[in-house]
Amino acid sequence: MRMDNILIINYDLNNITSISNVLKKIGHNPIISSDPSKLRSAAKIILPGVGSFDSAIKILENYGWKDRLREFVEKYEIPLLGICLGMQLLAESSDEGSPIEGLGLIKGNIKKLEKNNSNEKVPHIGWNEVNQKKESIIFQNIPNNTDFYFVHSYHYKINNHEEVLGETPYCGNFVSVINKSNIFGVQFHPEKSAKYGIQLLKNFINID
């Protein structure tokens, strides 16, 4: 296995085992760490997450990740992929839990999903399509409207629509893939999304 300096951030609210296993399956050996000093040697950063926005931000602050992560991603332009809650943490704030400032890496706020009809349920759990709004390296070899696996109750209300790469037709059409420069976020779980989820992780790892 190759040591690519892929850093998976461990802050006790993330499903890191399945992501690590997928990366190992495709020939990589990621570093899993709760130590922000590991950012110095990281070539790629993955920020997974399950749970609530406010709890996650507080833990990132307590571990010393919050300011260091912003510094390394913005100043040194290390590619970052936020997954599920990890994508939401990129926002400025969230309606979930107590008020607290997010990472603020991509301008926007996290809002509760609202059902449009009786067939929709919140939390949104299961497979649903991603409509690709723009071409991106993250979608390389992934057909438009491919299904990915979701588990969430909140969505990203983004300020700049040019930073939207994908949307999903559920609860009124929510943003499911975002990108600003070297920063990417996906609302779904690529590690649970079969071959195209694996392809998306490959695409991220292959970013120069």
Residues that are catalytic: 84, 189, 191
Closest CA to 42 of 14, 74, 3, 11: 3
Identity of the amino acid at 34: S
Judged by DSSP in three states, 162 sits in helix
SS3 sequence of 105-127: CCCEEEEECCCCCCCCCCCEEEE
Residue 191 · residue 19 · CB < 8 Å:
yes
Helices (H), 150-189: none
Rg of the chain over Cα atoms, rounded to whole angstroms, equals: 16
- Measure the CA dihedral 125/127/129/134, to 10°: 80
Residues with Cβ < 8 Å from 76, sequence gap 6 or more? none
Residue 48 · residue 84 · CB < 8 Å:
yes
Residue 47 · residue 59 · CB < 8 Å:
no
